[in-house]
Structure 1
Amino acid sequence: MVHQVLYRALVSTKWLAESIRTGKLGPGLRVLDASWYSPGTREARKEYLERHVPGASFFDIEECRDTASPYEMMLPSEAGFADYVGRLGISNHTHVVVYDGDHLGSFYAPRVWWMFRVFGHRTVSVLNGGFRNWLKEGHPVTSEPSRPEPAVFKATLDRSLLKNYEQVLENLESKRFQLVDSRSQGRFLGTEPEPDAARTGLGPYPWLCQHAFHGLPD
């Protein structure tokens, strides 16, 4: 039963609350707040410092990325990811539960879930309903920052979970795989601005969502 839980893509707030209550947090179970909001809207780190799931660490997507790339939200190197999550107390034997505070219930947590998967870590789950559901159900919160003991994490990039520009371009003709754009309809059609005020609309072709599926450049 334990192994089935570890490999679930979603875990319930009730399961996590009980795990925290019974002292399961530690090297074997870590919780991450992966909230991110468009500049000028909400401040994710500030909100984390005000209240978060007890024992949760803040996963900063702006820090855990390829800062040398001219493109947004590109994956860090294997070494960069390993170093970052290791400092959060995560090893290859840690079950990681990720959530965010978006009003939809979950927005950027799946991005971080995917990052762990693409770097070879299977024992990672998203908190069902996110922080919004955690609060709705009346589970405890804290303003105390988490200070986990650093751990060693070995990252191994799984390129089967990535598609680069050339592969996406070639797929327009071959149609070997289904491509899904998870942005809003307005952003897809170019009738709404991008959050960073960059150029809009790459439709009518379905392109990869810039936030959810950016990968490593070749």
Structure 2
Amino acid sequence: MAYTTLISATELAANLHKPDWVIFDCRFSLADTTAGAAAYRRGHIPGARYADLNLHLSSPVKSYTGRHPLPDFSGLSKQLSAWGVGNRSQVVVYDDAGGAFAGRLWWLLRCMGHTDVAVLDGGMQYWQKQTLPVTTVLPKPVSNHFRCYPDQKQWLSATELENALAGNRIVLIDARAPERFQGRQEPIDPVAGHVPKAVNRPFQLNLDKQGLFLPATQLKNQFQTLLRSRPPAEVVHMCGSGVTACHNLLAMEIAGLSGSKLYAGSWSEWIVNKNRSVATEAA
């Protein structure tokens, strides 16, 4: 059985030592970029490799990009090969933020043509709550060969987004917290507000009180309310830098609403160009 959206802690534990399974720890903190790697060294799921959002899952920031530009897919393919990922591998990704960072690698792998990748439901916290094994032993991956088949139709550039919004061809969903979307607070980026015509759905709404994803039927009903009869292929997700937006994209896939896309540069790229319009709650 292939896992393509979510995998439970019990299911992962039952397959933990299969040679064709590769696990990634994606823990990260925007406030302290060393925190994720430090947490990994203190204890991780056995066999897990550490994938750093800045070092492995993003390109260097430039004056015209957002905070987490898409990685060079050729370079990421080589890194995945070194980590032991092949095109037939079952990949599992996790973090300690409800999937907020793990979702980035989930989405990247799918864009590279690898669909057998799943986010660990509940992440590290739920794994430990189930008293499942944790280790400090670092894995010694045997290199594999990962062939990349990037699908550039999975994401939009800023120009493509502007044109699609102008033509009323898409629903744009912003995954940031309401206070940031409304422009009332902006702790990270230099400009507050949101892209005009965007609607807000904080990614945290996809989770229950235990940090597990809501049932597929519930997610489907909630997203269909936002879509207003639009097909999923006309949905574009964004956030601050193209990371947590993947959480909403994952939630739609879980709900059976396949085909939505990502505005990869997101808010931090949008505001680099001062000619682009900005909306706030007051406006």
> What is the CA deviation profile of residues 116-151 of structure 1, one whole-angstrom value per residue up to 9, with x for unaligned ones?
011111111111111111011111101111221121
In structure 2, C-alpha distance between the alignment counterparts of 1:202 and 1:145, rounded to whole Å: 42
> What is the CA deviation profile of residues 9-36 of structure 1, one whole-angstrom value per residue up to 9, with x for unaligned ones?
101100111112xx31x3x100001111
Q: Gaps (5+ residues) in structure 1?
A: none
Match of 2:5 in 1: 9
Task: Indicate the SS of the match to 1:157.
Answer: coil
Identity between Structure 1 and Structure 2 (%): 27
Task: Indicate yes or no: 2:24 matched with 1:32.
Answer: yes
Task: Indicate yes or no: 2:242 matched with 1:211.
Answer: yes
Moved over 3 A (4+): 213-217
In structure 1, C-alpha distance between the alignment counterparts of 2:61 and 2:29, rounded to whole Å: 21
In structure 2, C-alpha distance between the alignment counterparts of 1:69 and 1:97, rounded to whole Å: 31
Residues 49/214 of structure 1: CA separation in 2 closer, same or farther (3 Å cut): farther
CA RMSD of aligned residues (A): 2.1
Amino acid at match of 1:215: A
Task: Determine if contact 1:75/1:214 at 8 Å carries over to the other structure.
Answer: no
In structure 1, C-alpha distance between the alignment counterparts of 2:192 and 2:138, rounded to whole Å: 38
Residues 189/43 of structure 1: CA separation in 2 closer, same or farther (3 Å cut): same
Point out which structure has higher relative CO (alpha carbons under 8 A, 6+ apart): 1
Aligned residue-pair number: 206
> What is the deviation of 1:173?
2.0
In structure 2, C-alpha distance between the alignment counterparts of 1:39 and 1:88, rounded to whole Å: 27
Q: Gaps (5+ residues) in structure 2?
A: 199-236, 244-261, 270-283
Query: Please, which moves more after superposition, 106-115 or 44-53?
Result: 106-115
Task: Indicate the SS of the match to 1:32.
Answer: strand
TM-score where L is the length of structure 1: 0.86
Task: Indicate yes or no: 2:139 matched with 1:146.
Answer: yes
TM-score where L is the length of structure 2: 0.68
In structure 1, C-alpha distance between the alignment counterparts of 2:34 and 2:187, rounded to whole Å: 16
Task: Determine if contact 2:93/2:119 at 8 Å carries over to the other structure.
Answer: yes
Task: Indicate the SS of the match to 2:24.
Answer: strand
> What is the deviation of 1:68?
5.9
